[in-house]
Chain A
Amino acid sequence: TQLLEQSPQFLSIQEGENLTVYCNSSSVFSSLQWYRQEPGEGPVLLVTVVTGGEVKKLKRLTFQFGDARKDSSLHITAAQPGDTGLYLCAGDFTSSNTGKLIFGQGTTLQVKP
Chain B
Amino acid sequence: GAVVSQHPSWVICKSGTSVKIECRSLDFQATTMFWYRQFPKQSLMLMATSNEGSKATYEQGVEKDKFLINHASLTLSTLTVTSAHPEDSSFYICSASVGYSNQPQHFGDGTRLSIL
Contact = CB atoms under 8 A, between A and B. Distances in A.
B102 A30 contact: yes
B107 A42 contact: yes
A33 B95 CA distance: 14
A99 B105 contact: yes
A42 B110 contact: yes
Contacts of A99: 32, 97-103, 105
A100 B42 contact: no
Interface stretch (B43-51, B62-70, B79-87): B43-51
Interface in B98-116: 98-110, 112
A88 interface: yes
Interface residues of A, number: 28
A92 B101 contact: yes
Given A41-B109, A98-B49, A103 B43 contact: yes
Interface of A: 6, 30-31, 33, 35, 40-45, 48, 50, 86, 88, 90, 92, 96-101, 103-106, 108
Given A90-B105, A99-B103, 6 more contacts: A42-B109, A92-B102, A99-B32, A99-B100, A100-B34, A106-B41
Interface of B: 4, 6, 32, 34, 41-44, 46, 49, 91, 93, 95, 97-110, 112
